[in-house]
Amino acid sequence: MNLTTVILAAGKGTRMRSQLPKVLHKIAHKPLLRHVHDTAIQLENNTIHIVIGHGAELVKKTLSDLSANWVEQTQQLGTGHAVQQVSSQISDDTIALILYGDVPLLKIETLQNLLSKISEKTLALLTVTLKNPTGYGRIVRNNSGKILRIVEEKDASETEKQIVEGNTGILAVQGKSLKKWLSQLGNDNVQGEYYLTDIIALAVTDGFEIITSSPDNEDEVLGVNDKLQLAHLERVYQLQQAQNLMRQGVTLHDPNRFDLRGNLEIGQDVEIDVNVIFEGANNIGDNVKIGANCSIKNATIGDNVVIFPNCVIENATVGASSRIGPFARLRPETILATDTHIGNFVEIKKSVIGPGSKINHLSYIGDSLIGKKVNIGAGTITCNYDGVNKFQTIIEDGAFIGSDTQLVAPVTVGKNATIGAGSTITRDTPDEQLTLSRNKQISVPTWQRPVKKEKL
C-alpha cells in the first residue's frame, strides 16, 4: 500500500502569542512539526507533504532536514483549502493520510490501526470522546449510529453541540476519492472557510462507509493552541518517557520531576533523583547514581559513577567509578578517566584527567592534560588565557599541587612533583621535587592594629 501523508501546518497560531510559527514551538526541545514528521516517517512507503503558510521560510529553514515535500498555502482559507494545495501530488491509487502539525503526541500504533480500516469504499476517521468537546468539530451520526457528516462547533446547532464525539481531524482515504471531494468543497459556512471536514458528507453521498477508530488516550490527539496546552503536552510527553525508562529498570525518585530532551541510552540499576534534565544524546552505564538538580547534555557516563546534586555536565565523558560534585561543572571536551574525583565548585574545560586523579575543591582546570593519581589542592587555577590566546597546562602522573596554586600556561609540572601551596608557577617544574614560589614568611613585632578614628 502506497501512502501519501499531508501534514497541515500553515496556521498562524494566534493564541500562542508569539512571533514564532506555532509548529516550531517545542516539546522536549523538539519542534511540534518534527514530532509529527518523525511519527509519520515510520509508516512504510510513505511520501510526506507538509503544507506551510505562516512563517513558511522559517519553518522550512529550521526543519530543512525533514524528508518531506514542502507545499505553500499562501492564504489560509481553511483545512480543505490546505489539502487542495497538495491535490495534484496525490496519485489516485495511494492512500491519503491527513495529519496536523500541531498535534504532536499521536502514536504510530494509532495511525496503523486507523489505516488498517481502509478498504475501497471506506473512509477511516479518528474520533475521540471528550469530556469537554468545546472547539471540536462534532461527529453527527444517525439513529443506527452511521456517520452522516461533521459539523464544526461554530456551525453547530444547540443539539449538535451536545455531541461528545469530536473530530480529531485525522483521517485516511483513497487518493482518487479525496481529490474528487476536495474539488467539490465550498465555503458557505460561518467562518467562510473551505472545511476539510465537509468531505465526510460528500463521502457518505458517494456511498462510502465512514469507519472510526479512537486513540488509547485523549492526550494523543490534543492540539497545541496556546502555551497552557503546550505545557500540558510537555508534561504528558515527559511522563511517557519517564515511564519508558522505569520499565527499562531505571529508578526515578519522582517521574513527575524528570526531563529528557533528547536521547538517553541507559544501563541497569541507575538511580536518578528529582529535577534532573538530560539534553541531546546521552549514554549512561550501569549502577550510576545521579543526584538532584543536575543538568546533563551530550554526556557519556561510565559504570558506577556517582554524580552528587547540582552538577552541570556538557559534552563530557566521565570514566567509570568517578565521583562528581556536588556543584561541579564539566564543560565541553572534558574527558575524565576512571576513578576520578571532581568536587564542589570545580570547573573543568577541554581537559583530560587521568585515572585516580582528584580535584576536590574550588578549582578551574582548562586546556589541561593531567596524568594519573594527580592530586590538585583546593583553589588551584590553570591560567590558560592571556587575554588573546589559550595555552596548555600539563601535569604529569603522581604530581601533588598545593592549595591555591596558579599554574600559568604553557607550563608542565613533572612526574611526582610537589608544588607548595600558594605558588604561582610560571616555568616547568622538575620531576620528583618540591617547587614553590612564595615570599618568605615574616612576623613584625612592632606592628599594631589600627584603631578607630574618633568622630569630629
Copy the grid coordinates of residue 81. 483549502
We find the least distance from the C-beta atom of residue 23 to ligand UD1, in angstroms, to be: 7
Q: Grid cell 556517582 — which residue?
A: 306
- Tell me: does residue 13 bind Ca ion (CB under 5 A): no
Instruction: Provide the residue type at 269 as one letter.
Output: D
DSSP class of 429: B
Least Å distance between CB 149 and ligand UD1? 11
**Which of Ca ion, ligand UD1, none sits in contact with 356, Cβ below 5 to 8 A by type?**
none
Give one DSSP letter per residue of 249-274, joined into a string.
T-EES-GGGEEEEEEEEE-SS-EE-T
Of 23 and 370, CB closest to Ca ion: 23
* Segment contacting ligand UD1 by CB under 6 A, of 76-84, 172-180, 280-288, 328-336: 76-84
Q: Which of residues 41-70 bind ligand UD1 (CB under 6 A)?
A: 51, 53
Q: Report the amino acid identity of residue 262.
A: G
Q: Does 84 bind ligand UD1 (CB under 6 A)?
A: no
Residue 82: contacted member of ligand UD1, Ca ion, none (CB under 5 to 8 Å, by partner type): ligand UD1
The pair phi, psi for residue 424, each rounded to 5°, is -110, 110
Using alpha carbons, list the distances in angstroms from residue 15 to 79, 191, 243: 18, 17, 31
Q: Which residue lies nearer to Ca ion by CB, 223 or 319?
A: 223
Region label for 112, one of left (φ > 0), alpha (ψ between -120 and 50) or beta (otherwise): alpha
Q: Does 178 engage in binding with ligand UD1 (CB under 6 A)?
A: no
Return the residues of window 91-120 that contact ligand UD1 according to CB under 6 A.
100-102
Helix (H, G, I), strand (E, B) or coil at 170: strand
CA angle 415, 419, 423 (to 5 degrees): 145
Window of 216-224, 230-238, 387-395, 411-419 that interacts with Ca ion by CB under 5 A: 216-224
Pattern 185-224, binding to ligand UD1, x per CB under 6 A? ----------xxx-------------------------x-
CB of 170 to Ca ion, least distance (A): 12
Region of 167-175, 256-264, 271-279, 290-298 interacting with ligand UD1 (CB under 6 A): 167-175
**Could you tell me how many residues make up the chain?**
456
Give the DSSP per-residue string, 44-107: TTEEEEEEEBTBHHHHHHHTTTSSSEEEE-SS---HHHHHHTTGGGS-TTSEEEEEETT-TT--
81 labelled catalytic: no
Report the SS3 class of residue 246: helix
Q: How many amino acids of this chain bind ligand UD1 (CB under 6 A)?
A: 28
The residue from 223, 291, 354, 371 that contacts Ca ion (CB under 5 A) is 223
Task: Quote the least distance from Cβ 9 to Ca ion, whole Å.
Answer: 11
147 forms part of the interface with ligand UD1 (CB under 6 A):
no
| Distance, first Cα to last Cα, the chain | 98
- Give the residues lining the site for ligand UD1 (CB under 6 A): 8-11, 51, 53, 73, 76-79, 81-82, 100-102, 136-137, 150, 152, 166-169, 195-197, 223
Binding site for Ca ion (CB under 5 A): 223
- Return the active site residues: 361
